[in-house]
Amino acid sequence: MTQKTVSSGRLGSLDILRGLDLFMLVFAQPVIVALGAVWHPDWLAPLLRQLDHEVWEGFRCWDLVMPLFLFMTGAAMPFSMSKFRRADGGVDRAAYVKIVRRFLVLFLLGMVVQGNLLWFRADWLRVYTNTLQAIATGYLVSALIILHCRGWRGQLVATAALLLVYSVPMSLAGDWSMTGNFAYRVDELILGRLRGDLSYTWVWSSLTFSVTVMLGVFAGRIIKEGPRDRMTATALRLALIGAALVAAGWLWSFHTPVIKRIWTGSMTLLSGGYCFLLMALFYWIVDVRGHSRGLGWLKIYGMNSILAYMLGEVVNFRSIAQSLTFGLEPWLGDFYGVWLTFANFLILFFLLRHLYRHRIFLKI
């Protein structure tokens, strides 16, 4: 079987895996949770538990959604940032302008989604409290590392340094409770009343956000630089690294608990390992074996991921569904709310599908 090369076009596995992540976030999970609120079969309870974040220590399937989003951002960077270098190896000043602009736009969009920016009330404003802002920060740090540390060694050292700088004070200057950890104190000092959910930390956790993005960068580099006639070996390499990271995260958890809400070092390695394993699986299925039947529709989300996230989180299409189907309420009873949730995200899907068919993508 002829193997596809990375240079033949976009990396299909990356778009599809990112699409799966966004589909779960802006369609599947909200609909299943709405269904679980009115229907209570025994088999649904374990699924609903996995579709919610762990309260504190531990790791559930839903805790992987945000790390995977960051990881995918990093995986695309070796491909997208290659144009930032001149033929002589230098970096154009315009590259820094583009990087900072992307950081600022993502950060602002994060404030729109979860920072209460659209309430237009200063006392409700939250500065740093959203996934898009974590992506923005991780992207900024990772972009600077890529531009100034071209070789594998330099990038690995920089990434390890980020993890070390985060972990040392977390271990020595506080405990692992919700309000006693070092990252919480940093947020309290810097953000004060502008913090969001107090069970999450952002400022100090930006260091490990950046590590997660850099893990994605390494995955992207492995794929981009892998021999084109040995793509199966590249997939295997990704899987082995993923397994090693999962093992490392699990072993580290005996000293540092896995806590997604403060993005501990053990959680970073554990989730990064799962991301590597998913990347290996999708790369092997889609790019190596060429099997994308039944998966291609996920590109509708994956190639417009920021727009899908923004519309899914900010715009309420339920009012449209309610205006057109209010007559179903007596027939559906308690399940009418489930229908409205389903219709809300179905409308979003068809909107994204229309944009996909016309090759209209939000680029930041």
Do 155 and 149 form a contact (C-beta atoms < 8 A)? yes
Q: How confident is the model at residue 1 (pLDDT cuts 50, 70, 90)?
A: very low
Per mean pLDDT, which of 192-201, 228-237, 245-254 is the most reliable?
Answer: 245-254
Q: Which token pair is 292?
A: 């994308």
pLDDT in tens, 173-215: 999 999 999 999 999 999 999 998 899 999 999 999 999 999 9
> Do the domain assignments include residue 134?
yes
pTM: 0.94
pLDDT in tens, 172-184: 999 999 999 999 9
- State which residues form the domain around 135: 6-19+54-294
> Do the domain assignments include residue 96?
yes
**Which residues, including other chains, have CB under 8 Å from residue 102's CB and lie 6 or more apart?**
136, 139, 364
> Do the domain assignments include residue 334?
no
Q: How far is CA 239 from CA 121, 272, 275, in A?
A: 48, 11, 10
Q: How confident is the model at residue 86 (pLDDT cuts 50, 70, 90)?
A: low
Measured distance CA(263)–CA(207) in Å, rounded:
9
AA letter at 283: Y
Tell me how many domains the chain contains: 1
The average confidence (pLDDT) of the chain is: 93
> Do the domain assignments include residue 361?
no
> Do the domain assignments include residue 31?
no
> Do the domain assignments include residue 258?
yes
Backbone phi, then psi, for 295, in 5-degree steps?
A: -115, -20
Q: How many C-beta atoms surround the C-beta of residue 73 within 10 A?
A: 24
Query: At residue 3, does pLDDT exceed 60?
Result: no
pLDDT in tens, 140-166: 999 999 999 889 999 999 999 999 999
> Do the domain assignments include residue 166?
yes
pLDDT in tens, 40-65: 999 999 999 999 999 999 999 999 99
Do 66 and 131 form a contact (C-beta atoms < 8 A)? yes
